[in-house]
Every structure is written in C-alpha cells, then in structure tokens.
C-alpha cells in the first residue's frame, strides 16, 4: 500500500526581491491513518508544503506523491480525494447563507444531494452552528465563519484532509471542541489521514500521532510528541517540598540526572531532573527513610517547546 504522502528531495523557492528558499530538500512520509502535524515558527515553510501537497502550488524540484499520485502529473486525481482548509482564509460568498455555501462546496465535489444535506446537518450540529445555518455569511462572526470553513473541509468526506492552522484565532472552548472533532474524525474512520500545521505546541502535542518540526524550510526532526520531548533530553522534572534533610544521597540514585535544593524557613524545595517518571518512587523512599516528610510534589513535563529549543537552538516565537 502506498503511503498517504510521500515527499522526496522537495524544494520550493520564490523569487521576488532576492530568492526565498521556502522548502529546502524536504523528505517526508506520512502513512494512511495518521494524524500528522507540521510544527514550526512563522515563515518556516508549513503553508508552502501544504499548498504543494494539496496541488495549489508546484514544487521547484523534487517529487511529492499524495494518495499514490504525483502532485504535478496527476493533480486532478488527487483533488477529488482530498480537501484543504486554511484557518486564516476567507472563503464562501457573503450573500449566501452558511447552509447554501456548504451546499455549493459539496456540489463542486459532486456529493449526492441527500448525502450532502445529511452531512451538512450533522456537521452544523457538531460545531454548534445550527442557529446560524440560515444566516447570510456576511452577518456571522469571524469564528463562526471559520467553523463553516472547517465544516466545508469535512463535508466532502475526503480521504486526506489538510488543515492549515485550523484553530488560529479561535477561543479556547471552540479550539478544544475542534481538536476533539479532528481526533475523532481520524480515529473513527478507516483509512483517513490528516495533516495539520500549527505553531501552538499544545495542539501538536495533544493531537498528533507524529510531528515534523520544520524550521527555515528544513525538517529538523520527525517523531511522536513523546519521542520529540525525550530528545529534548529533559526527561521528567519534579519539584518536591520537604522538611529539612540532606539531599546529597539522592544525587547518586540511578536515573537522577540533576538536583537543586533550596532550603527555606522550616522546609526545602528540591528540583529534580529524572530520566523518567518511575525514578520518583526511589527518590521519595530515600527522603522518607532519612526521616524527612514530603509536604508537596509536582511534576513539570518537558514540552515540545523544549524539544524545539533543543533541536533548533531558539524558541518557537
Ligand atoms: N507567494 C510567495 N511569494 C514569495 N515568497 C513567499 C510566498 N509564499 C511564501 N513565501 C515565503 O516562503 C517562506 C515560507 O512561507 P510559509 O507561508 O510557507 O511559512 P509558514 O511556515 O506557513 O509560516 P506561518 O506560520 O507564518 O504561516 C517565507 O519566507 C515566505 O515569505
Ligand atoms: Mg502558514
């Protein structure tokens, strides 16, 4: 079976005032059924890659195959089977209602009428947009318009969907609802694939099976979110509050990478960097057997931001 997406030595440059190399020799494979994320700072090349894969832009060199077809030679075959939604885009006609807009988009794809209506109704309900179904698009809020855009993408029931910053500018509750829907969409349907771009680390972390970290047109790492965080080398971090004791013996416990202890009035704050979470049990027994009491314990997981910093040498913003 061909991978859902297969990119080989792909480059794309733009000429203008000087030449911009937006994608620089990118290799990437995404398997069918994956929820795959592209994470990177502004200008990294995420949108350019999505546009090439959704046949809106041609590569300058290299190849990209989507659902087994070449994006250059077989764009038409690809278009029928995919859809693309961009969080920042303005799409649809202001004078038509939300329902009429959605209907129109499904008809571009030749979705049979009855199926289209059922799907539109169900998606409007899922996204809490039934109340606005018959409102003219120009009268709805930016967030409602964006929800319509996302519905547009799913209403054609694509095998592969590209989402470029799907939750850009949406409020927290709406973003969570959308992420839940995205996750379910991939999980509950056989053989569906999703590629999304984001510069929200939490979104990439919570949602994606695998993430490609992209910076200045290059893919610097591809892994599961957990794998990327492991590469950050931070393991697990904990903060323990205790009654005073000598923390030095803890340093030599297996799996303890580092420790800083700050004594304060009547208690101590101990920061620990551990290889993994399981080491904390030994640390606690060591503290307790020294006669001290554990007053508080909190865990600080390394984030994808740590991973990005580790790989790229600077933060995401
Ligand atoms: N049509 C174009 N003409 C000229 N340069 C372009 C064009 N499209 C993109 N670029 C340049 O290519 C680079 C990558 O842009 P791209 O839009 O792919 O980044 P991005 O990762 O999507 O960033 P953002 O997070 O800001 O959306 C940038 O330097 C951008 O200026
Ligand atoms: Mg972009």
The domain spanning residue 178 has which CATH number? Answer: 3.40.50.300
Q: Is 86 in the pocket of ligand 1 (CB under 6 A)?
A: no
Residue ending a domain, among 203, 230, 257, is 230
Establish if 260 belongs to a structural domain: yes
Same domain, 52 and 104: yes
- pLDDT tens for residues 30-84? 999 999 999 998 999 999 999 999 999 999 999 999 999 999 999 999 999 999 9
- Which of 26, 45, 59, 214 is the pocket-test mutation for ligand 1 (most atoms within 8 Å of CB)? 45
Establish if 126 belongs to a structural domain: yes
Identify any residues that bridge with 236 across adjacent strands, giving them in sequence order.
274
CATH number for the domain that contains residue 297: 3.30.70.260
Q: Which atom of ligand 1 is nearest to the CA of 46?
A: 21
Give the per-residue pLDDT at 308: 77
Distance 22 CA to ligand 1 centre (A): 6
Distance 239 CA to ligand 2 centre (A): 37
Distance 91 CA to ligand 1 centre (A): 20
Same domain, 195 and 262: no
The mean per-residue pLDDT over the stretch 82-107 comes to 92
Give the per-residue pLDDT at 316: 62
Q: Is 88 in the pocket of ligand 1 (CB under 6 A)?
A: no
Same domain, 38 and 117: yes
Establish if 308 belongs to a structural domain: no
Distance 90 CA to ligand 2 centre (A): 14
Residue ending a domain, among 204, 230, 256, is 230
Identify any residues that bridge with 298 across adjacent strands, giving them in sequence order.
239
Assign 3-class secondary structure to 227-292: HHHHHCCCCEEEEEEECCCCCHHHHCCCCEEEEEEEEECCEEEEEEEECCCCHHHHHHHHHHHCCC
Same domain, 219 and 290: no
User: Which of 70-79, 123-132, 151-160, 294-303 is least confident?
Assistant: 294-303
Q: Tell me how far apart the alpha carbons of residues 238 and 240 are, in angstroms, rounded to a whole number.
A: 6
Give the per-residue pLDDT at 302: 73
Same domain, 120 and 208: yes
Q: Grade residue 12 by pLDDT with cuts at 50, 70 and 90.
A: very high
Same domain, 113 and 248: no
Give the per-residue pLDDT at 152: 96
Give the per-residue pLDDT at 195: 98
Question: Does residue 251 carry a pLDDT above 90?
Answer: no
Average pLDDT, the chain: 91
Distances (CA, A) of 200 to 99, 143, 166, 303: 30, 18, 11, 11
Distance 210 CA to ligand 2 centre (A): 19
Q: Is 47 in the pocket of ligand 1 (CB under 6 A)?
A: yes
Q: For residue 278, what are the domain limits?
A: 235-301
Count of domains observed in the chain: 2
- pLDDT tens for residues 101-130? 999 999 999 999 999 999 999 999 999 999
- Which of 40, 47, 215 is the pocket-test mutation for ligand 1 (most atoms within 8 Å of CB)? 47
Q: Tell me how far apart the alpha carbons of residues 54 and 304 are, in angstroms, rounded to a whole number.
A: 27
Same domain, 194 and 112: yes
Same domain, 105 and 245: no
Same domain, 22 and 168: yes
- Please count the other Cβ atoms lying within 10 Å of the Cβ belonging to residue 91: 14
Neighbours of ion ligand 2 (CB under 5 A): 46-47
- pLDDT tens for residues 178-228? 999 999 999 999 999 999 998 888 889 999 999 999 999 999 999 999 999
Question: Does residue 307 carry a pLDDT above 90?
Answer: no
Distance 49 CA to ligand 1 centre (A): 10
Same domain, 132 and 242: no
């Amino acid at each position: 079976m061909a991978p859902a997406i297969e990119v080989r030595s792909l480059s794309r440059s733009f000429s203008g005032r000087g030449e911009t190399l937006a994608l620089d020799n990118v290799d990437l494979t995404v398997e069918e059924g994956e929820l795959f994320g592209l994470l990177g700072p502004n200008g990294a090349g995420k949108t350019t890659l999505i546009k090439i894969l959704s046949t809106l832009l041609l590569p300058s060199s290299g190849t990209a195959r989507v659902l087994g077809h070449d994006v250059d030679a077989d764009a038409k075959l690809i278009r029928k089977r995919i859809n693309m939604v961009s969080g920042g885009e303005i799409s649809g006609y202001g004078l038509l209602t939300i329902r009429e807009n959605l209907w129109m988009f499904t008809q571009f794809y030749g979705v049979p009428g009855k199926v289209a209506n059922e799907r539109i109704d169900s998606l409007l309900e899922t996204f809490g947009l039934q109340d606005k179904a018959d409102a003219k698009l120009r009268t709805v809020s930016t967030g409602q318009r964006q929800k319509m855009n996302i519905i547009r993408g799913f209403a054609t029931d694509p095998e592969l969907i590209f989402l470029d910053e799907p939750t850009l500018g949406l409020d927290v509750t709406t973003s969570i609802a959308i992420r839940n829907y995205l996750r379910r969409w991939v999980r509950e349907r056989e053989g569906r694939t999703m590629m999304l771009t984001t510069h929200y680390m939490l979104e990439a972390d919570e949602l994606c099976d695998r993430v490609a970290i992209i910076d200045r047109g290059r893919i610097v790492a591809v892994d599961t979110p957990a794998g990327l965080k492991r590469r950050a080398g931070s393991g697990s971090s904990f903060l323990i509050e205790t009654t005073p004791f000598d923390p030095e013996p803890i340093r030599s416990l297996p799996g303890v990478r580092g420790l800083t202890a700050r004594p304060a009035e009547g208690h101590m704050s101990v920061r620990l960097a551990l290889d993994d979470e399981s080491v904390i049990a030994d640390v606690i027994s060591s503290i307790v057997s020294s006669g001290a009491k554990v007053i508080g314990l909190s865990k600080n997981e390394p984030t994808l931001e740590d991973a990005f910093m580790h790989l790229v040498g600077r933060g995401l913003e």
